[in-house]
Amino acid sequence: MVWWRRAITALTALVSLLAVGATAVPAATAASAAGASATSAASAAAAPQTWDRGTIPLYSTTSAGGETARMPDGSVRTYLAVSGKPAYLAEVDTFSGRVLRMIPLYVPGSSAEDPPDTGAQGAWGVSVDKRGTVFVSTYGFGHVYRLPWKAAAIEDLGRPSPRTSFTWEGDTDNKGVFYFGTSQFFGPAPLPGGRLFSWDPATRKYRDYGDFGAAYGYVRSVEYADGKIYAGLGPSTALWQVDPRSGRRVEIPPPAGMPTDKYAYQLEDEGGYLYVLFAGGTTAQVGWVLDLKTLRWTHEIPGYAGQTVTGADARGRVYLVDSGELKQYDPRRGVLTPTGFAGGSEQADKGGLGAGKGLVRATDPATGHETIAGATSNGDLWRYDTVTRTGTFGHLDGLQGTPTAPRSLATGPDGRVYAGGYFQGGLAVYDPATTTWTSHPFPHQIEGMSAHAGKMYFGVYPNAQLWEYDPAEPWGDANPRLLFDLKQEGQERPWTVVSAGPYLAVGTSPKNSRTDGAVTLYDPSTGQRRTYTSGLVTGANQISALAYRDGVLYGGSLGCCNFDGSKHPGQVFALDAASGGVLWRSTPLPQEQGVAGLTFDGLGRLFGQSYGTVFELDPATGALVRSVQEFAYDWSVVANFQPRAVNMAWDAGDDTIYTTNGVTRRISPDTLADAGPNYRTSFAAVSPGPSKFYVQGGNLLEVRWY
């Protein structure tokens, strides 16, 4: 094990995955595999210049799930699921820090499902049974993978049901039966509830224990203890005990005073107690301990971070991570005893040991001392010697960074193009002047970003964070810097970030327990911000588009994909940026459930786009002036929509509106006609200037239109 190195090596021979921005792409306008198809002979003759600027270099060594266990031969192994395209399972010798294997979580040709499987994108759950068999419950295509001890190849157990998109953290019983939960996000709206499943090695079949109601989209964590299954649900707070034979259920009320908008996020049983991390919602995460004999809550652990705890000693005491520090915990008395180990002084400044993945209590073969070992989500491995009371912390240098899918794209104040990855894919920067790329380690998922007053601003999920980056200064620990988050305001994803006169404007989606998206106006000169969560539109919504002109902020809403299952038409509003007063509200196209793009032309005309339809509004009243449907889009079956699929901006250079909806569009402000040609794309940076930049698969396409 060696200390962190900034250089990240790409994992070779991985499958490329097209990052789509919405649930449908119009076949009639989709570009050919070669790149584009002209809409007419005239437009073909005037085809712009295009360049493939290569693969967007977004890489990470992000591990959402991990487990450490003593194997049948007495060795201790740490297994980490590293996210990517596809993800891989890393097998690590815990005490030497040596990466033994990196096994892609993809078995080609093992399924014929719809959508077709191209490999896991990552995994929140890794579980090891007493026989040394590893189960990995993954997201992206909802498969479970199985690696028997000493097996040369991993098994793909497939998707437990057609609608399963996520399989979450699970656990095994003494017979090797694996119990786990799911989210069922594939298929049309309305979305069903998450389901509880098991997989039996004797029958090699899944058993479906059913869902817990549509309000519980996540069976987020499952633990097997003392002959019972425990299922933690979300995003509404709930915990159930389930009999594995009969399926009989007993609901366990949450601790008194627990907010109702939390996930029972992670479960771990040890020494007769169930350790539960309640996370999400608008309040801080918190740990609680449940006595499995009485099913009563005994003690609160305010700083508990999950993900696992160690085995218990003869007195029932375990080690866990609390407030970034390794601590011993006595569940009988509810007493935490600090060790003082948080990964060293530098790591402590970065939040310490984080979520404590794969904690284990074992004997170090080199010293004979009892040692606590664990890992972090960034591919770090740490050890703490309980005899000498000293610890080590370092990066697993043998882990290879994996390519991650582009999530967002924008042009910066320096003229460079910034790309963010999913879900912790770093930051890639392309310089058109030199045609070179730069990659930065930025372990955050950027949903929307924008240039403003010489700086770059990143809207980050979760908790609707806003980060500021000064491209004139070196990239480092304080650049970029976190300005604030909107957790207290109940906001989650910053879909749109725009420059708005003296302000930076941010449009967000609400947390799953809320229904109202928000607009936040931030003044970088003073550090002051204002957030508006009500009165913008009617009904449950997300703020999906923003545009600014002459002191007024214009916003569009997405009403198709709300937590409460309701559907509402996309709406537009005008907000006085100084006072926060709403000037008008409009529903321009009642049949369209989202407004994902807004822009002004040089004459002060206001234009918008749902997904398949472009329209013009009167900026004084919001009244619809005209609209043109480019293709029909069936919102009734849409369960998830990425507003960044629409990237809309007017360009004074040729008096044209540039936008996207699965393909590139060039819209005349006078006629609303699309001049083409139409290149396939997901995200785009369409700031004014001859060249626009588009994500095409995992590559960056530059198109010089004039």
pLDDT band at 42 (very low <50, low <70, confident <90, very high): very low
Task: Please say whether the dihedral angle defined by the alpha carbons of residues 334, 262, 489 and 503, taken in this order, is positive or negative.
Answer: positive
Other residues' Cβ atoms within 10 Å of the Cβ of residue 212: 23
pLDDT band at 579 (very low <50, low <70, confident <90, very high): very high
pLDDT of amino acid 512: 84
Q: Are 89 and 134 in contact (CB under 8 A)?
A: yes
pLDDT band at 146 (very low <50, low <70, confident <90, very high): very high
Residues 521-532 have a mean pLDDT of 98
Query: Residue 14 above 60 pLDDT?
Result: no
Residues 348-369 have a mean pLDDT of 91
pLDDT of amino acid 349: 74
Residues 185-202 have a mean pLDDT of 95
- Where would I find the beta strands (DSSP E) of 21-150? 36-37, 49-55, 59-60, 63-70, 76-82, 88-93, 99-104, 122-128, 134-139, 144-147
pLDDT of amino acid 679: 97
pLDDT band at 61 (very low <50, low <70, confident <90, very high): confident
3-class DSSP state of 633:
coil
pLDDT of amino acid 111: 74
Q: d(Cα 538, Cα 582) in Å, to the nearest integer? A: 13
pLDDT tens digits along 536-570: 999 999 999 999 999 999 999 999 998 778 899 99
Q: Are 644 and 597 in contact (CB under 8 A)?
A: no
Q: What are phi and psi of 255, to 5 degrees?
A: -55, 150
Q: d(Cα 291, Cα 686) in Å, to the nearest integer? A: 57
Residues 19-30 have a mean pLDDT of 33
Q: d(Cα 383, Cα 677) in Å, to the nearest integer? A: 57
Higher local confidence (pLDDT), 40 or 50 = 50
Q: Are 329 and 336 in contact (CB under 8 A)?
A: yes
- Where would I find the beta strands (DSSP E) of 161-283? 166-167, 171-172, 178-183, 195-200, 205-211, 218-225, 228-234, 238-242, 249-251, 263-270, 273-279
Other residues' Cβ atoms within 10 Å of the Cβ of residue 18: 13
Q: d(Cα 163, Cα 191) in Å, to the nearest integer? A: 9
pLDDT band at 15 (very low <50, low <70, confident <90, very high): very low
Query: Residue 282 above 50 pLDDT?
Result: yes
Query: C-alpha angle 399/370/288, rounded to 5°?
Result: 80
Q: What is the CA radius of gyration of the chain?
A: 26
pLDDT of amino acid 13: 26
Q: d(Cα 306, Cα 358) in Å, to the nearest integer? A: 10
Q: d(Cα 517, Cα 543) in Å, to the nearest integer? A: 5
Q: d(Cα 95, Cα 92) in Å, to the nearest integer? A: 9
pLDDT tens digits along 455-505: 999 999 999 999 999 999 999 989 999 999 999 999 999 999 999 999 999
Helix or strand run (H / E) with residue 553? strand 552-558
Query: Residue 328 above 80 pLDDT?
Result: yes
Q: d(Cα 563, Cα 560) in Å, to the nearest integer? A: 10
Q: Are 135 and 91 in contact (CB under 8 A)?
A: no
Other residues' Cβ atoms within 10 Å of the Cβ of residue 340: 12
In our burial notation (b when 16+ CB lie closer than 10 A, e otherwise), range 478-503 reads eebeebbbbbebbbbbbbbbbbbbbb
Query: Residue 20 above 50 pLDDT?
Result: no
3-class DSSP state of 29:
helix
pLDDT of amino acid 483: 98
CA 595 to mean position of chain CA atoms: 23
pLDDT band at 46 (very low <50, low <70, confident <90, very high): low
Residues 495-524 have a mean pLDDT of 96
DSSP string computed for 295-362: TEEEEEETTB--S------TTS-EEEEETTEEEEEETTTTEEEE---SSSHHHHHTTTTTT-EEEEEE
pTM: 0.81
pLDDT of amino acid 3: 32
Higher local confidence (pLDDT), 119 or 41 = 119
pLDDT tens digits along 101-112: 999 999 998 778
Q: Which residues contact 476 (CB under 8 A, 6 or more apart)?
A: none
Query: Residue 426 above 90 pLDDT?
Result: no
pLDDT > 90: percent of the chain: 84
In our burial notation (b when 16+ CB lie closer than 10 A, e otherwise), range 385-410 reads bbeeeebbbbbbbbbbbbbbbbbbbb
Q: d(Cα 680, Cα 694) in Å, to the nearest integer? A: 9
Query: Residue 21 above 70 pLDDT?
Result: no
Query: Residue 22 above 90 pLDDT?
Result: no
Query: Residue 168 above 70 pLDDT?
Result: yes
Q: Are 643 and 579 in contact (CB under 8 A)?
A: no
Q: Are 151 and 131 in contact (CB under 8 A)?
A: no
pLDDT of amino acid 611: 97
End-to-end CA distance of the chain: 53
Identify which of 83, 82, 85, 101 has the alpha carbon closest to the alpha carbon of residue 93.
101
pLDDT tens digits along 652-699: 999 999 999 999 999 999 999 999 999 999 999 999 999 999 999 899
